[in-house]
Amino acid sequence: MKFTPELEIPGGCIKPLHYDDIDGLFELYKHPEIPGQRPLEDKEQLNRMIDYSVQMAATQRGMMWAIETEGQIKGMVSGFDWQPSNLRIVMRVDGLPSLTVEERAGALKAAIGFLSKKYHVRNFAYQWIEGQSDDIKVALSECGFTLAARLRDGWRTGNTEFSDVEQYHWVSSDDKPVPRKLGDDDELGQNLNANKRGES
Amino acid sequence: MSWNFETEHFLIRLPVSDEDGTALFKLLSQDSAVAHIPRLPMTVEAQALDELRRIAMRFETREAAFWLIERKSDGDVIARIGIQYINWMMLNAQLQWELSAECGLEELQEVLPVIVGYLSQDLHLHRLEMRLRTGSENHSNMLVELGFSREGTLPSQQEFEGEDIDLDVYSLLKGELKA
């Protein structure tokens, strides 16, 4: 079953996590961007994360893509804390130092475009944590996000140390979906293969 | 470790599933007690019994804790105050209150220090957050009086009665409570 599509971005694509990409993903997790997050030491843990990424997408709890440009995994774009009935989700991009602002914004836009069109998600949040690069805020601005709140000490970085969190939002102005009669919709589980019968 | 407390005028206690249905229904059937969340008022007492059972299960797993504020003089429940979405890694939680007309700033200044003290000293929570429907002036004024800081407004957090609801965020860090 396939729930996470591969999507084009300038210079590359965002694509579902795959076991073949574990080395690239491991490199990414060795360079965490989030303050207080330790580099990953055990590559095997990524196998489980890839399993989770499929389960999360299938149950509409989240979606994860690898960002690939110039033939190299340079980051990940993810949606988590997905609340389908409230049509909202929190987005996150993790990148290697080589991931450019343009690539970051492109990946975010592609993921948001898909979630917006396919699942009618309207409200996208992004949490920037004090200590992260200001370049992330440039990418957010490029995608139309605006600052909604600064959550004091919202992120714990050590036993007694905390960082503020700036919460950004982008809310789509598209019309809300009109619910259809249950059973009339053949997009069961939003499985992308099932939606294209005869093509999968 | 006891989760039940007492002040001069109030018992601050965890609810009893089989006994507190009527009192909880009386409180949560008032629109003024739940409009700031926002939530619809309860319409039948069975909803209060369901809520008590849900809260008991959430407490068992330490996902949430809700206290009834019982006035000693007449046994009336004048408020429910609780925490939910407890993040034990980040040491924060969301505070929520439902207040009857008989619970104002003075009453909160008596009971909240006990609850907040327990949350920060015993449970080591560092940050308490409350989210209010934008425009809930009475509640936001009381929060500011109690030492909470307004942090911003989260847009379109839920749909309620056909309207997109924005929520104002207030927070209180360890040691900031004014009583």
Residue A12 in tokens: 């590359």
CA dist., res. A32 & res. A93, Å (int):
11
A129 and B CB contact within 8 Å: no
Q: Write the Ramachandran bin of B162: left for phi over 0, alpha for psi from -120 to 50, otherwise beta.
A: left
> CB A156 to CB B126 under 8 A?
yes
In a domain, B47, yes or no: yes
What integer pLDDT is reported at residue A198 of this predicted model?
A: 42
End-to-end CA distance of chain A: 10
Residue B17's domain spans which residues? 5-130
Residue B7, CA distances (Å) to A135, B42, B96, B111, B143 in order: 51, 29, 20, 7, 20
* Partner residue opposite A171 with nearest CB, options B149, B151, B156: B156
Contact A154 B149 (CB under 8 A): no
Determine, yes or no, domain membership for B145: no
Show residues of chain A in contact with B126, CB under 8 Å. 153, 156, 162
Written in H, E and C, the secondary structure of A18-62 is CHHHHHHHHHHHCCCCCCCCCCCCCCCHHHHHHHHHHHHHHCCCC
Identity of the residue in A147, A151, A156 whose CB atom sits nearest the CB atom of B91: A156
Mutate to test the interface with B, among A80, A85, A86 (most CBs of B within 10 A): A86
**Residue partners of B113: CB distance under 8 A and separation at least 6:** B177, B179
Q: Which of B154, B157, B171 sits opposite A152 (nearest CB)?
A: B171
Any chain B CB within 8 A of the CB of A150? yes
Q: What is the four-CA torsion angle of B38, B153, A110, A129, rounded to 10 degrees?
A: -120
- Grade residue A177 by pLDDT with cuts at 50, 70 and 90: confident
CB spacing of B152 vs A171 below 8 angstroms: no
User: Which CATH number is B27's domain given?
Assistant: 3.40.630.30
β-pair partners for A149: A167, B152
B179 found inside a domain: no
Q: Give the chain B residue nearest A145 (alpha carbons).
A: B155
DSSP A180: P
pLDDT in tens, A103-143: 999 999 999 999 999 999 999 999 999 999 999 999 999 99
pLDDT at B51 over 70: yes
Residues B113-170: pLDDT tens digits? 999 999 999 999 999 999 999 999 999 999 999 999 999 999 999 999 989 999 999 9
Q: Tell me, what's the ipTM?
A: 0.94
Domain-located, residue B101: yes
Q: Confirm whether B14 is domain-assigned.
A: yes
What one-letter code names the amino acid at B123? L
Name chain B contacts of A157, Cβ cutoff 8 Å: none
Confidence band for A176, pLDDT divided at 50, 70 and 90: confident
What's the domain count of chain B? 1
Taking CB atoms and an 8 Å cut-off, how many pairs form between chains A and B? Answer: 53
Q: Which of A122, A149, A162 sits opposite B169 (nearest CB)?
A: A149
Contact A148 B154 (CB under 8 A): yes
Distance (Å) from the alpha carbon of B136 to chain A's nearest alpha carbon: 17
Whether A89 has a pLDDT exceeding 80, the answer reads yes
Whole-number percent of chain B with pLDDT over 70: 100
**Structural domain spans, chain A:** 7-171
Band of pLDDT at residue B179, cut at 50, 70 and 90: confident
Q: Does position A70 have pLDDT exceeding 50, yes or no?
A: yes
Residue B18 counted as domain residue: yes
What gap in Å lies between CA A128 and CA A32, rounded to an integer?
A: 14
What burial class does residue B170 get, using C-beta atoms within 10 Å of its C-beta: 0-12 exposed, 13-18 middle, 19+ buried?
buried
Does A29 score more than 60 pLDDT?
yes
Structural domain contains residue B171: no
A74 within 8 A of A96, measured Cβ to Cβ: yes
Task: State the Cα angle at B106 between B105 and B110, rounded to 5°.
Answer: 110
pTM summary value: 0.91
Q: Classify domain A7-171 by CATH number.
A: 3.40.630.30
- Give residue B51's Cα distance to chain centre: 14
